[in-house]
Structure 1
Amino acid sequence: MKKGDHLFLIDGSGFIFRAFHALPPLTRKSDGLPVGAVSGFCNMLWKLLTDARDTSVGVTPTHFAVIFDYSSKTFRKEIYDAYKANRSAPPEELVPQFGLIRQATRAFNLPCIETEGFEADDIIATYARQAEATGADVTIVSSDKDLMQLVTPMVHMYDSMKDKQISVPDVVEKWGVAPEKMIDLQALVGDSVDNVPGIPGIGPKTAAQLLEEFGDLETLLSRAGEIKQVKRRESIIAFAEQARLSRRLVELRTDVPLELELDALVLEPQNGPKLIGFLKAMNFGTLTRRVATACDCNADEIEAADVEVEWGDAARGPDLDAGEAAKADTGETAAAAPVERAVSTVAKVTGEATPVSFAEARIAAFGQAKLDMENYVTIRDVEVLDDWIRAARETGFVAFDTETNSLDP
C-alpha cells in the first residue's frame, strides 16, 4: 500500500445488527431457514460496493475488507470480567446467520477478517493506523462512537445509513472534543451498552468541559482537588481508578496480529458466478437478477452454491461464543435451555411448525419487542424501496400508518 491508495474498512458486526433490525424477519422458502440479516447484509454490501466502484463520486477504494467480531471472548474480559456482561445472547433466529454472513462476504470476493481474542474495532484500528503510516487514506464504514478515536485528517468514518462522512470537525461538533481525546472522554462517561463503568454523574458535556480545562484524563485525576463543584470533585477522586480501568477498556488496540497484510486487501473485480451461486442458495431472487445484470452473467446457467449452516455449538459471532448458541435472554446456559426452545428451532428449519404456532410465536415476539428509534430507515431511492417490497412479500404481511383528522374512516 502506498500514498494515493484508499482503504475501506467495513464494520461487519455493525452491518449484521443493522441488517437484522432494519428489515422484517425473512426465511428461506425451501426450508424456513432465517435469512433476513443475510439478505439485508448482502443488499447493503452490494450497494456500498456499487457506489464505491463508481468513479464519478470521487472516492474510489483501492483496498477493501470486512471486519467481524470472532466471538464475545476478548482480552477486555480478562481486564474486567463484567465487560459487556449486561448483554443478552443474540436473538435465536440471528445465530445461524453469523456464519452465513461470513460466507456471503467471501462470495462477494472480499477479505473476511476476524481475530480470536480481539474485537472488530481493534482490527479496524490496527489496519487504519498501518495504512495511514504508508500515506494512504482510510474510510471506516461505521457510525460507532467507539471508532471515532481513530479519526484524523487521513482517516474518516462514513455512516452509510445517513450517507454522511464523519471527519475531525464532526467529532468535535458532536462530542465537544477532538478525536484524540475521545478515549479520555469515554473513560469519564463510561458506556452502559458495553458495561464500561466510567465515573458516576459525569456526562459527555461535563467530560468535555473537564478535558478542555485539564487537558487529559491523568492530569484531571491528579488535580481533581482543584475542581470547585463539591460533588463532582468527590466523585472523581473516589472513582479515579475506575476511570483508569475504563480507559483501558475503551482504548482500541493497534497491534493486533493480522492474518492478512495490507497489500492482500486489494479490491478485486466482482466474481459474478461465485456471488450468484451464493445468492441462489439463499433464494435471494431480486439481488440475483441485479448482480447478473451488472456482471453480464446468465443466472439460469449458474448452480446454487453448497452453503453450510452453523447451528448450535458450531455457531459463533458478535456477543456469542461457540457452544452458547442456546443461551436465552433470561441468562440460561446452553445446557440449561428448555427443550421446547430447541424443538422450536428445529421446527422452523424443517418446516414442521404449524401456521398457528408460527403466528402465535410471532405475536408473542413482537409484543415483547422494544421500539428502537435508531433502527428507523428512511427510503430515499428505488433500490431500498424494492428491498422493502421484496421483504414484505416474502414475509406475507405489512402494516402502514396514514395521517387522518378523524377516528371515523
Structure 2
Amino acid sequence: MTLTTSGDAVVRAEELYEASRRAITLTVDDLWPGRGAVLGAQVPSLTSYVCPVTVDGEELFAKYGWLSTPMASVLRGARGTWDDVLEAQLPYTRSADLLTRREFQQLEFLRQLGRPRVCEAVDFRAGVLLTRALSGMTVAEEINLRPWDTGPLLDSVLLSLPELHGEAGAKYIKRAWPINERSIVDVFLHQFKGPSAAGFVADLGRDRELPEHERLVIVDLVANAVRRLIRLTTALRPRQRVAVYGDLKPEHVFLSGARMTFISPALQWAAGPEPDVAKLIGRALLLGLCHHELRAEQQITQGVASTLDSYFGALPRGERLDQVREVMVLWLMDTAALLATCLSVPADYPVTAHQEQVVRHARRIATVLDRVSGLLIGSMTGAGLLDAIFGEFDQTAWNPLRAGRHSATPTSIEGNDA
C-alpha cells in the first residue's frame, strides 16, 4: 500500500469516483435489468471504491478497485495519469488475478468450508464484487461500546479460524490466487523500504493540518520504529505453511446475537496464524488508544493481554518463544503502516471516524511504536518479552507527559539505531 504525498494530485478524485460508480451502475443494470437499482453514497475505504446498492428493497454492497492499487495512491499518480489508468484498467478487469475476482473466489471457498462464516457473495462481474449486507454491529463497534468484553470478543474471533488455519485452508491456497496485497509484511515493505521511503516518511502528515513541530516529532518517532522493524523482518519465519485470513480487523467481523460473520477476506500464505493474531490484537489496541475514556482504554488493553495470554498459553513452549516475538513485530508493522496511510491520504479523501482519530492520536501511537520496537531488538523472549511490552505500552499510552516528551530532530530511516 505505497502512498506518495508530495505535489498535487495527478488524477482528479471526481474522475476516479465517477468512473467507479459508472462501472458499478453498468454491472448492476446488466445483472438486474429494469429493476431500478439505486446506488448509495460512497463508503470510506482506503483501498477500493465501496457503496451500498439497493435492488428491490434488498441492500447489497458493491466493491470496485483500480489496478490492485489503493485509490489514494492512484490519485497521487502511482499508476500514472488518468489516461494511463484508464488504458490499463480494462485489461486488468479481465485478468485472472483481478483482486475483486480473487476475493469473490475466496468468499466462495469459505462458504463451502463453513468456518469462519462469511458474508454471501451475490455475484461478480466486470471487476465489481457484490456482497449481501449484514445485520448487527462489528466487533470494533462492540469493543467501543463494551470495552470490558474485549477479551471474550477477540477470543471468539480467533476460535472461528482453526479450520482455515488447518489442512483445508492450506490445500485451497496451494491451488488458488492469494491476496498478498494485504500481507502485513508486504504492505510495510512497500511503504518503508526503497528509494522513495525516506521522502515518504518525511512527508507524513503534511496534508493533515498538523502543527509542524508536532508533525516533525511524529516523523522522527515513526522513522526510529521503522528502521528497527526493517531489521527485524529478517528474523520472521518463511511463509508457505498456513493459510491465514489476512485482513482480520475487528471492523471485518459482524456480531449478530451469538453469530459472527466475516467480510473482506485476503487469504494468503504465512508461517503460522501470527498475522491474523497480530492484526486483530493490534487494531483492537488502536481502538483503545483512540477511545475518549481512559478507563475504557485500560479495559481494552487488558482484554488484548488476556487474549494473548490464552493464545500463547495453549502453545508448546518452543513455539511460544518464537511466536511471541513474531506477533509483536507484525503488530508494530501493521500499526506503522496504518498510521502512515492515515497521515498520507489527501485532506479531502473520505476516511472513517476511527481513521480520523488515528490522525488525532498520531503522536501517542508513534510513541508506542518507537518504545516497543526498542524492546524487540533486545534479547528478551517469551512471557518476559510480552510482560515488558505491555508494561511499556501502559506507561507510554496512559502517561500523556511521557508520550509527549521527544525531540523533533528528524531521523533517517536508513541510519543506525541507537
Q: Same fold (TM over 0.5)?
A: no
TM-score, normalised via structure 2 length: 0.23
TM-score, normalised via structure 1 length: 0.23
Greater fraction of residues in helix: 2
Larger Rg: 1
